[in-house]
Amino acid sequence: GDSVTQMEGPVTLSEEAFLTINCTYTATGYPSLFWYVQYPGEGLQLLLKATKADDKGSNKGFEATYRKETTSFHLEKGSVQVSDSAVYFCALTSRTGGSYIPTFGRGTSLIVHP
């Protein structure tokens, strides 16, 4: 079945550091790819998405590029802030048994220190 693999956390960075969170996937068919973020005490919210190969999703300074050849969708940000501290989930949606079910990774916790 479909699956998403994320790097283990927590990732601890100082403010203004460069961030990379790795995500790879396996899927039958041609999935859409997403990054969701969960801030403390809140539900998951969509951060960015990409729907076809070589698409780049971007939002709030975060970027991720859909790489079909390496089945990856790594999340990057050039300069993190304390307010970026959250749990980040990589996800894909593909057709499964007649419906489209979002499949998630285990999440990567990001802690940014001042």
Partner 1 sequence: EAGVTQFPSHSVIEKGQTVTLRCDPISGHDNLYWYRRVMGKEIKFLLHFVKESKQDESGMPNNRFLAERTGGTYSTLKVQPAELEDSGVYFCASSQDPRPNTEAFFGQGTRLTVV
Q: Which of residues 52-81 bind partner 1 (CB under 8 A)?
A: none
- Which of 19, 25, 31, 88 is close enough to bind partner 1 by CB under 8 A? 31
Nearer to partner 1, 42 or 69 (CB): 42
Of 37 and 112, nearer to partner 1 (C-beta) is 37
Residue number with CB closer to partner 1 (17 or 96): 96
**Minimum distance of partner 1 from residue 81's CB (angstroms):** 23
Distance CA 99, CA 102 (A): 10
Q: Which of 19, 21, 35, 49 binds partner 1 (CB under 8 A)?
A: 49
Kindly state the number of chain residues that form the binding site for partner 1, as judged by CB under 8 A.
Answer: 29
